[in-house]
Structure 1
Amino acid sequence: MVMASSSSSSSSTSNKNLVLIICCAVLICSSIISVSSANFEGPAEKTVPLTKGLSWQFYAKSCPSAESIIRKELKKIFKNDIAQAAGLLRLHFHDCFVQGCDGSVLLDGSASGPSEKDAPPNLTLRATAFKIINDLRALIHKKCGRVVSCADITALAARDSVFLVSNFF
């Protein structure tokens, strides 16, 4: 009797293991099928959806060459000193951190008070980063007039800095 009970228990455990293995196999197969079928549905959307009122092509009509001017100039700069990318990204961060990306960190002080540039957290920003943004601004204003904001120039320069430097590694 003991043997029959042991044999029955062993068979019950084997059945449970078999059911578990089958369930795992079905789960794995269904995962593989869903992943592989996703690859055949066509290309995924390549852009992030935007909030109403925003546009990826904001300067397409008023200054279509703005982005290419910035990228071309940054390529030249980074050939000589790749570390400037970090300075531009940090400048953009400091501009955006407190009250949004408004270009206020680029402004010089006046008789009415010190500038954001002179605030203690911003004293260690690279002077070269400010010069690069100012040079980019001059190039864009020469080509398109004063239609591209300094905040946007800073944002585009930070974006392109990350992109261009990531291709070096």
Structure 2
Amino acid sequence: EKPYKCEECDRAFSQSSNLTEHKKIHTGEKPYKCEECGKAFNRFSTLTKHKRIHTGEKPYKCEECGKAFNQSYQLTRHKIVHTKEKLNKCEEFGKAFKQSSHRTIHKIIHTGEKPYKCEEHGKVFNQSSNLTTQKIIHTGENLYKFEEHGKAFNLFSNITNHKIIYT
């Protein structure tokens, strides 16, 4: 039961002290001031959390990797990283990936699979980016232009090598 109701916003509380604390939101009262920087807060608990910025205190530690945080929500958000890594782990090597698409690309190494086929001459690739490069070579399209003398290249690596020669 929550018998203590706020007249301003209709929120209810089980203890009168919580209602008193809550009312400060509406009045704008900020009685808790940081001695370090002067910033004021309407709750003592918020001031306590704020002070950790100045002290460098990080009481919330990740049991999995040891990384520490000054607020509990930061640790909660961080733990998702480990959950994703567990979901996207390579069974063969034990290597963990943050994204499932990266694990999929990695798994092709083990299978030797080359699912990307060039329709022009039948050459197969294990990564779609390699097929894209192959297609650019076939079209002869020059996407990268060297500004010094106007010569154009179909691959970024080719213009990079050319720049090294001429600069």
When the two structures are superposed, what TM-score results if normalisation uses the length of structure 1? 0.26
- TM-score, normalising length: structure 2: 0.27
Normalized per residue, the structure richer in strand is: 2
- Higher RCO, 1 vs 2 (CA within 8 Å, ≥6 residues apart): 1
Structure with the bigger percentage of helix: 1
